[in-house]
């Protein structure tokens, strides 16, 4: 098998395991088992566990950019695009109830570990923040665009943590509805 395909398999497995069980709690053996490779052989593809994390974050950044670009084509209005983001917590409610938000939980964990890759993980948040800010600017609120973007991010993180803690789908739906109404007050 070509190295690139194996590398992608490793990244995909690590991505899933980091999300489900956390970075620290996922061992090389776990990833190796998921891909079907021997443990020691990993150093041909990645020279350290940090390098895998780096690749996982890069992959998530690329996936996120792809998703945001797709939203640009699917939703015609900035408000519609913002709602696309808000509704992630509904779309991914099953995973969120089980594992929380992939971005939020990773950032929280890396902060506690004082991990060198924390800054890299922060770029995931910044990517959403910048995109949301642009949507609010297009909506005609350039002056407070960043504050509104941060508010929407905080909404999603709050819902994710609570949904993970209480496994309450009705709660998620209510909060999304509340957010939709809030967003209407900013539409012109």
CB of 52 to DNA, least distance (A): 8
The C-alpha atoms of residue 65 and residue 119 are separated, in whole angstroms, by 18
CB of 44 to a second copy, least distance (A): 28
Which is nearest to 67 in space by CA: 51, 52, 87?
A: 87
Binding-site partner at residue 73 among DNA, a second copy, none, CB < 5 to 8 Å by type: none
- Asked if 120 touches DNA (CB under 7 A), the answer is no
- Asked if 54 touches DNA (CB under 7 A), the answer is no
- Asked if 45 touches DNA (CB under 7 A), the answer is yes
What does each C-alpha distance from 80 to 87, 93, 138, 173 come to in angstroms?
A: 10, 20, 12, 17
Binding-site partner at residue 147 among a second copy, DNA, none, CB < 5 to 8 Å by type: a second copy
Q: Given the rule CB under 7 A, which of 39-47, 106-114, 150-158, 169-177 is the region that contacts DNA?
A: 39-47
Lookup result for tokens 């996936």: 63
The C-alpha atoms of residue 49 and residue 30 are separated, in whole angstroms, by 12
Q: Contact at 8 Å (CB) between 54 and 120?
A: yes
Nearer to DNA, 47 or 65 (CB): 47
Contacting positions for DNA (CB under 7 A)? 1-4, 6, 26-30, 36-45, 47-50
């Amino acid at each position: 098998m070509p190295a690139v395909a194996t590398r992608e398999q490793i990244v995909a497995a690590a991505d899933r395991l980091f999300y489900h069980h956390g970075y620290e709690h996922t061992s090389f053996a776990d990833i190796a088992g998921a891909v079907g490779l021997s443990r020691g052989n990993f150093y041909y593809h990645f020279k350290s566990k940090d390098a895998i994390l780096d690749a996982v974050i890069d992959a998530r950044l690329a996936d996120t950019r792809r998703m945001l670009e797709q939203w640009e084509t699917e939703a015609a209005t900035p408000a519609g695009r913002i709602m696309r983001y808000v509704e992630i917590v509904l779309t991914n409610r099953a995973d969120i109830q089980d594992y929380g938000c992939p971005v939020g939980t990773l950032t929280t964990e890396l902060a506690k570990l004082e991990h060198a890759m924390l800054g890299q993980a922060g770029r995931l948040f910044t990517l959403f923040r910048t995109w949301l800010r642009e949507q609010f600017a297009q909506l005609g609120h350039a002056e407070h665009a960043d504050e509104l973007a941060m508010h929407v991010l905080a909404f999603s993180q709050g819902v994710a943590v609570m949904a993970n803690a209480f496994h309450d789908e009705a709660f998620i739906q209510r909060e999304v509805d509340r957010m939709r109404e809030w967003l209407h007050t900013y539409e012109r």
